[in-house]
């Protein structure tokens, strides 16, 4: 291309000004479009961050910031984020909204953890309960209270009643599954609900049921055994303490009660992975892709250090790939 260019130059001597014009591109003409493109990319990234974090548009000040992801540190402390993320977690931990505020205990615990900058593990093993603010009015606004026997929100009565299940012998299979789903993201689907299937404890040992209830590391019946049982229904529901005999569950861990179960789940790496998976779902509306492995690994590493969900969110939201 340079050889062709030279053949077009005049043979007679030419002035320096003309030669400069033929062989150079003005710097300003290049700089202005580049600056405009950078500003446009920054605005798009800022808009995306604000939309993902608080569900609203960005402020003019944020749009003018050439470092759009710098807004994350302020947004993660914003009350709008705390409300939005709490609602998101509640939607992930429950299939439908609760009939009363206290049934949506995960919403209140999430907001409590965020506003007080507590570890995410407090959601599940902190010594708290989520109770109606007025004990005589179950439909009153719920509140998080200190409780010596608390287990995140898992010992909150309205949560316990909601997920007591309807197993004929009172075995709390639903409670066992919901705890594992909330803490480590375990997701299972019923394989059959045919009326001719024996759904008793012995019937669940049949091949079509044992694959979830007795054989795997998450064996639902074995895990449920550490919860004790329930009797009655609704407001009359009562709960018995777990038996004294420990269960060998979670791939070889001896567990005696639901506190030991929750603590074992939190100590498992699946807990760290699930925290980052929740961060991706909140910010992207999906779980991580395979090509996002390095960012996901960085997220897990950051979360392991302090167990704060905001640390997981920060890694994902501040990575350059978030704005691509």
φ, ψ (nearest 5 deg) of residue 44: -65, -40
pLDDT tens sequence for the chain (324 residues): 444 333 333 444 444 443 334 345 555 554 566 666 778 889 999 999 999 999 999 999 999 999 999 999 999 999 999 999 999 999 999 999 999 999 999 999 999 999 999 999 999 999 999 999 998 899 999 999 999 999 999 999 999 999 999 999 999 999 999 999 999 999 998 776 655 666 788 889 888 888 899 999 999 999 999 999 999 998 899 999 988 889 999 999 999 999 999 999 999 999 999 999 999 999 999 999 999 999 999 999 999 999 999 999 999 999 999 998
- Find all residues with CB under 8 Å of 123, minimum gap 6, and list them: 106, 109, 110, 113, 152, 153, 182
Q: Which residues contact 237 (CB under 8 A, 6 or more apart)?
A: 160, 161, 164, 230, 231
* Torsion-angle region of 234 (φ positive above 0: left; ψ -120 to 50: alpha; else: beta): left
Q: Spell out the domain ranges in the chain.
A: 2-75, 76-162, 167-267, 270-323
User: What radius of gyration, in Å, describes the C-alpha atoms of the chain?
Assistant: 28
The pair of structure tokens assigned to 178 is 């919901």
Nearest C-alpha neighbor of 78 from the set 42, 52, 107: 52
Q: Residue 8: what pLDDT?
A: 36
Measured in residues, the chain has a length of 324
Return the closest-CA partner of residue 176 out of 215, 212, 224: 224
For residues 166 and 224, what is the distance between their CA atoms, to the nearest angstrom? 13
Give the pair of three-digit tokens for residue 296.
């996901």
What is the pLDDT, as a whole number, of residue 16?
43
HSE of 311, CA atoms in CB hemisphere, 13 A = 18
pLDDT of residue 9: 37
3-state secondary structure of 253: strand
Rounded to whole angstroms, how far apart are CA atoms 100 and 131? 11
Show the 3-state SS of 268-297. CHHHHHHHHHHHHHHHHCCCCCHHHHHHHH
The span from the CA of 186 to the CA of 182, in Å, is: 8
C-alpha span between 146 and 156 (Å, rounded): 11
Interior CA angle at 28 toward 26 and 34, to 5°?
A: 115
Q: Between vectors from CA 319 to CA 46 and to CA 75, what angle results, nearest 5°? A: 45
8 Å CB contact between 174 and 164? yes
What are the residues facing 13 on neighbouring strands? none
DSSP 3-state assignment of 15?
A: coil
Single pTM value for the model: 0.86
Measure the CA–CA gap between 169 and 318, rounded to whole angstroms.
50
Strand partners, 142: 132
Query: What integer pLDDT is reported at residue 202 of this predicted model?
Result: 83
């Amino acid at each position: 291309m340079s050889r062709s260019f030279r053949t077009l130059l005049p043979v007679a001597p030419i002035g320096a000004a003309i030669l400069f014009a033929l062989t150079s591109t003005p710097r300003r003409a290049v700089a202005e479009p580049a600056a405009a493109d950078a500003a446009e990319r920054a605005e798009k990234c800022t808009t995306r961050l604000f939309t993902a974090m608080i569900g609203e548009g960005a402020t003019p000040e944020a749009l003018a910031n050439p470092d759009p992801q710098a807004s994350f540190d302020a947004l993660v402390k914003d009350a709008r984020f705390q409300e939005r993320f709490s609602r998101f977690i509640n939607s992930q931990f429950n299939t439908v909204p609760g009939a009363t505020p206290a049934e949506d205990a995960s919403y209140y615990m999430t907001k409590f953890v965020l506003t007080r900058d507590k570890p995410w593990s407090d959601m599940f093993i902190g010594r708290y309960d989520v109770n109606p603010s007025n004990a005589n009015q179950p439909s009153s606004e719920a509140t998080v209270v200190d409780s010596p026997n608390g287990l995140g929100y898992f010992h909150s009565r309205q949560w316990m009643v909601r997920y007591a299940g309807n197993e004929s012998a009172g075995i709390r299979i639903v409670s066992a599954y919901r705890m594992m789903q909330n803490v480590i993201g375990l997701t299972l689907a019923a394989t059959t609900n045919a009326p001719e299937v024996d759904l008793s404890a012995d019937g669940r040992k049949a091949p079509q049921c044992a694959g979830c209830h007795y054989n795997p590391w998450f064996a639902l019946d074995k895990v449920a055994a550490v919860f004790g049982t329930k009797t009655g229904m609704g407001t009359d529901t009562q709960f018995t303490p777990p038996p004294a005999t420990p269960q060998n569950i979670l791939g070889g861990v001896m567990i005696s009660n639901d506190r030991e179960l929750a603590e074992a789940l939190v100590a498992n790496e699946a807990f760290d992975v699930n925290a980052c998976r929740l961060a991706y779902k909140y910010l992207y509306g999906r779980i991580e892709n395979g090509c996002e492995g390095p960012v996901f690994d960085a997220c897990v590493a950051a979360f392991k250090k302090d167990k704060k969900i905001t640390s997981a969110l920060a890694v994902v939201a501040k990575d350059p790939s978030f704005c691509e």
